[in-house]
């Protein structure tokens, strides 16, 4: 069982500013990226001073994988995407975070990587709020 979130946990301003809260899982804060080009979630382990997955305790690494799987299943179910991309890059923001991105054949960056392919597009008409509600209902752990 993973340890509870650190009471003093803080998220970097960049991660917080680029995304919207979806839900909190036992280990991770789940957030929706503010980019309507793709259904794109981030999982941010609520542990301070983590940069790499290997920095997590072994139990937390296993929990992270469970949470990635649960979020991936929910994203695929809700969005109907063709492919799920999962990545922990951290080249721009070093705080440990994992991207879970739904991809569609023919999306703005298909079949290449999403980073830098096209400018971010804002969600319109509360589409982000509706997506967040659907994701909250679909994420099961």
Query: Is the pLDDT confidence value at 2 over 80?
Result: no
pLDDT, tens digit, for every residue of 9-20? 999 999 999 999
Query: Is the pLDDT confidence value at 86 over 90?
Result: yes
Query: Is the pLDDT confidence value at 3 over 60?
Result: no
3-state secondary structure 74-121: HHHHHHCCCEEEEECCCCCCCCCCEEEEEECCCCCCCCCCCCCCCCCC
Residue 34: pLDDT band (50, 70, 90) is: very high
Domains within the chain, CATH numbers bracketed: 13-132 (3.30.428.10)
Report helix angle 58-79 to 127-138, nearest 10: 120
Distance CA 21, CA 19 (A): 7
Q: Which pLDDT value is given to residue 84?
A: 98
Predicted TM-score (pTM) of the model is 0.93
Mean pLDDT of 38-51: 97
């Amino acid at each position: 069982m993973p340890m509870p979130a650190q009471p003093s946990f803080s998220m970097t301003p960049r991660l917080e500013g680029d995304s919207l809260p979806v839900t909190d899982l036992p280990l991770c804060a789940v957030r929706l990226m503010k980019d309507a080009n793709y259904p794109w979630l981030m999982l941010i382990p609520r542990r301070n001073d983590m940069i790499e997955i290997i920095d997590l305790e072994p139990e937390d690494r296993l929990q992270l994988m469970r949470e990635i799987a649960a979020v991936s299943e929910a994203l695929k179910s809700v969005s109907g995407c063709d492919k799920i991309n999962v990545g922990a890059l951290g080249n721009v923001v070093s705080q440990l975070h994992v991207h879970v991105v739904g991809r569609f054949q023919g999306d703005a960056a298909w079949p290449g990587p999403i980073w830098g392919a096209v400018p971010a597009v804002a969600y319109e008409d509360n589409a982000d709020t509706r997506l967040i509600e659907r994701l909250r209902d679909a994420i099961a752990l």
